Amino acid sequence: MKLLIKNGHIINEDESFQADILCEGGKITQISEHIDQQLLDCDFIDASGKYLLPGGIDPHVHFHLPTKAGFSSDDFLSGSKAALFGGTTSIIDFVTPKKGQKLPDALKERLIEAKDCRCNYSFHISPIEWRDSLKEEIRYCINKGYNTFKVYMAYKDSIGLDDSSLKKVMKVVAAEGGTITVHCEMGDKIDGLRNKFTAENKTGVEYHPLSRPNETESRAVKKALEFAKETSCPIYIVHVSTKESLRHIKQAKKLGQEVYAETCPQYLLLNDTKYKGDFYDTAKYVMSPPLRKEDDNLALWEALGDGTIDTIGTDHCPFSLSQKEYGIDDFRKIPNGAGGVEHRHKLLYTYGVLANKITINQFVALTSANAAKVFGMFPDKGIIKVGADADIIIWDPQPSSTILSNNHYSTCDLDIYDGFAVKGNADLSILGGELKKRP
């Protein structure tokens, strides 16, 4: 099966040029100024006036995540459709074992849950407790091609690690050649604040951000960086949301530490004013870390430009209104998370590229190329070049639209970007050389 894409404008992280692309056997086999369709028996797309982007890679999604309020709204089928039609051809989800469950067993279970995924997928694997056999378990996962391990410094009562276990896990991951990815929030401090507020009968949504102030993230970032340095473990910090965390990351990078950082569209585009209002206006913004202040938004935009932030993930983890209602009398019970996988490209293109905050090449670096490099997919993915996988987004820069919670591929009835005006659209998504049609 051959596919010829003609007259598009190819955008890579470090170059932009007009060319035709031939895809064959799932790969890009030719890129040149003019490829003659007459000489080939192939399908054909005219991409005049469109950008050709390397398929997006979202390194942080939670499809079908179990919580006390039920599973996150999108399973691997609906979530991957939302990803594909938004411009993302690869996602990285998570394997979170139950207490006492071995990582290889949890991985096998998760692979079954992910069988309906329509885009490329992989997993970060979460050691949620220390045990001596972890070295063998981590080695097994790495041999199977899963070499990133996600640990939580928050959620101490369920999946969070204490400091001593965290350091031990980092040591093993480093020794086995993996990378640690860390949710940086000081779990004990947060639990103390949450319980204090509830004891004072302060149970509304507004106490969610107040129980997770900036320093609960930045102090955790500082600590995680120190532990990673001590154990020589490459570290990737997920969903960075504060200006103070950025300072620690910038300093560590300057000193030559192998550290990568991710932020998410919600921390660039929304702030804590969203927590003002009644439960039904505010519960959809309950996520961890919480939305911050405008000066944090601004610092994050700057950090995209200066290389402190490497990737934009979405932390896609939507819950329906009825699920959020599980915490109507107690903010601690509101399931944490919101969706975004389908809007990442539109939001970044509109509020980043068109607002001159990032270049179109940085847009590609942040949504695809850098994640491909950090997570070992480069140069198969993250770039349009001969020999790479034919995962390509045909991006139409023209259409204007408004994001609406009742008009998205995600199955969730809530959308934190509801009402956002956006420009640009993933006209067509090509996955392994195959055109993915919108339902």
- Please give the residue ranges that form the binding site for ligand URP (CB under 6 A): 62, 183, 287-288, 315, 317, 336-337
Identity of the residue numbered 77: L
> What SS3 state is found at 147?
coil
Cα separation, 74 vs 80, whole angstroms:
9
Residue identified by tokens 């209602």 is 325
Beta bridge partners of residue 17, listed in sequence order = 10
Among 367, 366, 356, 354, which residue's Cα sits nearest to residue 423?
A: 354
Q: How far apart are the C-alpha atoms of 155 and 185, rounded to whole Å?
A: 9
Nearest distance from residue 264's CB to Zn ion, in Å?
9
Enumerate the H helices of 185-325 as residue ranges. 187-199, 207-210, 214-230, 243-254, 265-269, 279-282, 294-306, 321-324
Q: Which is nearer to ligand URP, 13 or 310 (CB)?
A: 310
Binding partner of residue 87 among Zn ion, ligand URP, none, CB under 5 to 8 Å per kind? none
CB of 316 to Zn ion, least distance (A): 8
* CA distance linking residue 424 with residue 206, whole number of Å: 34
Distance of CA 166 to the CA centre of its chain: 22
Interface pattern 307-326 for Zn ion (x via CB under 5 A): --------x-----------
Which residue in the shown chain puts its C-beta closest to Zn ion? 315
**Residue number, 83 or 393, with CB nearest to ligand URP:** 83
Residue 185's binding partner among ligand URP, Zn ion, none (Cβ under 5 to 8 angstroms by kind) is none
User: Distance between CA 19 and CA 142 in Å, rounded?
Assistant: 38
Closer residue to ligand URP, CB minimum distance, 124 or 381: 124
Coil/strand/helix, residue 170: helix
- The nearest distance, CB 394 to Zn ion, in angstroms, is 29
CB of 139 to ligand URP, least distance (A): 26
336 binds, among ligand URP, Zn ion, none (CB under 5 to 8 A by kind): ligand URP
d(CA 337, CA 174): 30
Q: How far is the CB of 155 from Zn ion (least distance, A)?
A: 11
Closer by beta carbon to Zn ion, 72 or else 405:
72
Give the C-alpha separation, 430 to 251, whole Å: 39
Q: How far is the CB of 283 from ligand URP (least distance, A)?
A: 12
288 binds, among Zn ion, ligand URP, none (CB under 5 to 8 A by kind): ligand URP
- Separation CA 261–CA 329 (nearest Å): 35
- Tokens 């899963």 locate to 146
State which residue, 197 or 267, has the beta carbon closest to ligand URP. Answer: 267
CA distance 111 to 115: 6
Q: Is 137 in the site for Zn ion (CB under 5 A)?
A: no
242 vs 288, beta carbon nearer ligand URP: 288
* Beta carbons of 181 and 151 less than 8 angstroms apart: yes
Nearest distance in Å: CB 288, ligand URP? 4
Q: Which is nearer to ligand URP, 162 or 230 (CB)?
A: 162
Q: Identify the DSSP state of 389.
A: B
Nearer to ligand URP, 221 or 317 (CB): 317
For the CB of residue 154, give the shortest distance to ligand URP in the complex, in Å: 7
346 binds, among ligand URP, Zn ion, none (CB under 5 to 8 A by kind): none
Please report how close the Cβ of residue 315 comes to Zn ion at its closest, in angstroms.
Answer: 4
Partner in contact with 373, chosen from ligand URP, Zn ion, none, beta carbon below 5 to 8 Å by kind:
none
Q: Does residue 390 sit in helix, strand or coil? A: coil
Between CA 151 and CA 428 the distance in angstroms is: 36
Closest CB to Zn ion among residues 21, 92: 92
Given ligand URP, Zn ion, none, residue 96, with its beta carbon under 5 to 8 Å by kind, binds: none
Name the site residues for Zn ion (rule: CB under 5 A): 315
